Structure 1
Amino acid sequence: MSFFTDSSDLQRIGALIEAHAAPIYAARNIPFTQFAYVLTQPGQEGAAKPKGAALRQDWRAYPCSLVKVFHLVAAQLRLEDGRLSAHGELDRAMRDMILWSSNSATNYIIDLLTGTTGDTLLSDAEMSAWCERREEINRIFAGLGWPELAGINLNQKLMDDLRYGREKVALDRSAAGHNCLTPIAMARLMNEIFSDSALLPPARRAVIRDYLARDANDPDRGRGAYQLLGYLGDALPEGTRIWSKAGRTRWLGDDRASFRRHDMLRAILPNGQEFQLTVFTQGEAIAEDDTFLPGIGALVATAVSSLSREGS
């Protein structure tokens, strides 16, 4: 059971995605099993579900910085129920976590949500209590009861390389290991953010949307931290409205987390057509390729625009 209904039109676009991506993977000797996507569009007016298509939607993958959208939603949920107090540093951290994909900002928010700090070693008993508190973000999302969230893990901080002290012990003790998401989990959360969902009040959903917005004409567009160039939104038609959050790892000293490049995109094309696309990839030659994801984004935009013309 999925949050979307299968669409033959979007399945045809999915076949185009696969036909584009599979030869690139083959040429670089990367298994095509290390590629996945979920593509959705809003359903007909009055429809309870969006329409969609997917490939390997349940692939459990190291999520890179896509997980930061979950942290942003968790912070908004706790602000709404009063278990987190609003303050300027939290506002700054939420902005920088998404706008610049700051790991330091993310880890500050994790500390606030879980009541933990990463530091020197603790005794076994203290460490067990620390790990239990760190599970709080997993508990927040488990409490939603969405089947699409099965198998995800959100209990690790974001690091630029290897871990030390409590963070290393916590990773070693975690039955789930590193953070983990699936394409369908990411796509479901995006759908909730950009629909009339009961997850959060409209004002809080608007805050999240504002953080996710990307401007193709922004002076900072060329900065890698802005996560537009080299990602799904890079080559969309001029005038497209873009919301996105990407993630990328190079070598981290840990094969379980190195060489990933993912993105999730909501786009409203100049003709008014809307789509959401989540893509997960793994493999050094793909993670280092600044053309792979833009090519998929452009392909989908063209195909979705064609649907509009065919339906007119």
Structure 2
Amino acid sequence: MAFYCPDGEMEQALVAAISSLEQEGRPGLSEQLSVTWIRYGQSLRGGSAGEGQGTHWRGNQARYPASVVKLLYLLAAEAWLQRELIDDTPELRRALADMIRDSSNDATGLVVDLLTGTCSGPELPAAALQQWSQQRQLINRWYGELGWPEWPGNNSCQKTWGDGPYGRERQSYGHELENRNRLSSNLTARVLQAVMARELLSPSACSRMQELLSRSLEPAARAADPENQVDGFLGGGLPEGAQLWSKAGWMSQARHDAAYIELEGKAPALIVVLSDGPERAQDEALLPELCRRLIGL
């Protein structure tokens, strides 16, 4: 079952926005972009607000998610904690905070190790690598067990890197990088909706995740943190009075963002944008402008 009700007017508005942005000097944008956009009758926070109205553009196409995958690792970590599969320690909490607030790859590596019982290291012989790889699939298996129709075709079993994987981590990617992380905008939107609407885990767990995802739109705070995950992303299109919860991803070949937005006078909205290619990676105006057009600013 879809996690939102399709809306024809929103579909037309999304198609028009993408078309106009493409015509404004972004050739090929419609092929490089995946978008999922949902509006709600009331705030998701504090519990489900009922089924939202929404649409998507290439929302089922899985793309390399960069740091957006950390959103999935956050939800999985809280699920493991709720089931008492891992210990709730200050070091884990520090890693989760750094993974989401600062998008730390080092922190993400620790979280993935704790969730899967694996660790990085030298290359492994075939039998040992197979066993290690089975352990690395624990996060994927959990998401698969949720029964979400958006899940097939997605993959969240790799750490995130600055320079890239080495040793057994590189072996895990496969010769053609076929086991690289990949997410669709629809799946990412479903995960963020679950966090904001408290659909899967306890209220306290969801409150903790929401606190980590909250972004300041104050100019001074943004200026003090050049990697604030607002400027150049969806939050960059919002006025200072808006409220934003988000997780961005950016690297040389991609610029992504997953955001839940509340703004007085506008319907609460969830927007996920995945954009591929070096041109899009350097395009700091695309996501803010798309946000403004979808929100109606």
TM-score (norm 2): 0.92
State which drifts further: 176-185 or 213-222: 213-222
Q: Which residue is 1:10 aligned to?
A: 10
Instruction: Indicate the SS of the match to 1:280.
Output: strand
Q: Which residue is 1:202 aligned to?
A: 203
Q: Give the C-alpha shift of residue 248 in structure 1.
A: 0.8
Distance of 2:239 and 2:63 partners within structure 1 = 30
Q: Give the C-alpha shift of residue 89 in structure 1.
A: 0.8
Aligned length: 292
1:180-227 per-residue CA deviation (whole Å, 9 max, x = no partner) reads 000100011111111141x10111111111110001117441334221
Cα pair distance change 1:149/1:119, threshold 3 Å: same
Match status 1:284 vs 2:278: yes
Determine if contact 1:61/1:180 at 8 Å carries over to the other structure.
yes
Distance of 1:276 and 1:97 partners within structure 2 = 21
Distance of 1:47 and 1:76 partners within structure 2 = 22
Which runs of at least 4 in structure 1 moved beyond 4 Å after TM superposition? 43-48, 173-176
Cα pair distance change 1:16/1:269, threshold 3 Å: farther
Q: Give the C-alpha shift of residue 18 in structure 1.
A: 1.6
1:25-55 per-residue CA deviation (whole Å, 9 max, x = no partner) reads xx34435211111110125899742110111
Cα pair distance change 1:218/1:120, threshold 3 Å: farther
Task: Select 2:173's aligned residue among 154, 171, 174.
Answer: 171
Q: Which residue is 2:190 aligned to?
A: 188
- Kindly provide the amino acid, as one letter, of the partner of residue 263 in structure 1: D
Q: Which residue is 1:309 aligned to?
A: none
Q: Give the C-alpha shift of residue 149 in structure 1.
A: 1.2
Distance of 2:42 and 2:108 partners within structure 1 = 37
% identical aligned pairs: 31
- Kindly provide the amino acid, as one letter, of the partner of residue 211 in structure 2: D
Instruction: Indicate the SS of the match to 2:60.
Output: coil
- Kindly provide the amino acid, as one letter, of the partner of residue 295 in structure 2: A
Instruction: Indicate the SS of the match to 1:104.
Output: helix
Determine if contact 2:34/2:184 at 8 Å carries over to the other structure.
no
Determine if contact 1:237/1:270 at 8 Å carries over to the other structure.
no
State which drifts further: 166-175 or 226-235: 166-175
1:152-192 per-residue CA deviation (whole Å, 9 max, x = no partner) reads 10111111233211111111179842000001000111111
Q: Show the 5 A alignment for 1:254-265.
A: 259-265=253-259
Distance of 2:135 and 2:176 partners within structure 1 = 13
Distance of 2:239 and 2:160 partners within structure 1 = 33
Cα pair distance change 1:159/1:196, threshold 3 Å: closer
- Kindly provide the amino acid, as one letter, of the partner of residue 266 in structure 1: Y
Task: Select 2:54's aligned residue among 41, 52, 55.
Answer: 52
Determine if contact 2:22/2:28 at 8 Å carries over to the other structure.
no
Larger RCO (alpha carbons 8 Å, 6+ apart)? 2
Q: Which residue is 2:291 aligned to?
A: 297
Runs of 5+ unmatched residues, structure 2: none
- Kindly provide the amino acid, as one letter, of the partner of residue 212 in structure 1: L
Q: Which residue is 1:308 aligned to?
A: none
Q: Show the 5 A alignment for 1:28-107.
A: 28-30=26-28, 32-43=30-41, 48-107=50-109
Q: Which residue is 2:164 aligned to?
A: 162
Determine if contact 2:17/2:293 at 8 Å carries over to the other structure.
yes
1:219-271 per-residue CA deviation (whole Å, 9 max, x = no partner) reads 44133422111001013123001111110111xxxxxxxx1111111111122
Determine if contact 1:262/1:280 at 8 Å carries over to the other structure.
yes
- Kindly provide the amino acid, as one letter, of the partner of residue 213 in structure 1: S
Q: Give the C-alpha shift of residue 19 in structure 1.
A: 2.7
State which drifts further: 126-135 or 76-85: 126-135
Distance of 2:235 and 2:42 partners within structure 1 = 25
Instruction: Indicate the SS of the match to 2:270.
Output: strand
Q: Which residue is 1:254 aligned to?
A: none
Distance of 2:284 and 2:50 partners within structure 1 = 37
Match status 1:215 vs 2:216: yes
Q: Which residue is 1:310 aligned to?
A: none
Determine if contact 1:35/1:279 at 8 Å carries over to the other structure.
yes
- Kindly provide the amino acid, as one letter, of the partner of residue 186 in structure 2: I
Q: Which residue is 1:236 aligned to?
A: 238
- Kindly provide the amino acid, as one letter, of the partner of residue 119 in structure 2: T
TM-score (norm 1): 0.88
Distance of 1:204 and 1:248 partners within structure 2 = 27
Instruction: Indicate the SS of the match to 2:62.
Output: coil
Task: Select 1:270's aligned residue among 258, 264, 274.
Answer: 264
Determine if contact 1:238/1:270 at 8 Å carries over to the other structure.
no
Distance of 1:240 and 1:209 partners within structure 2 = 15
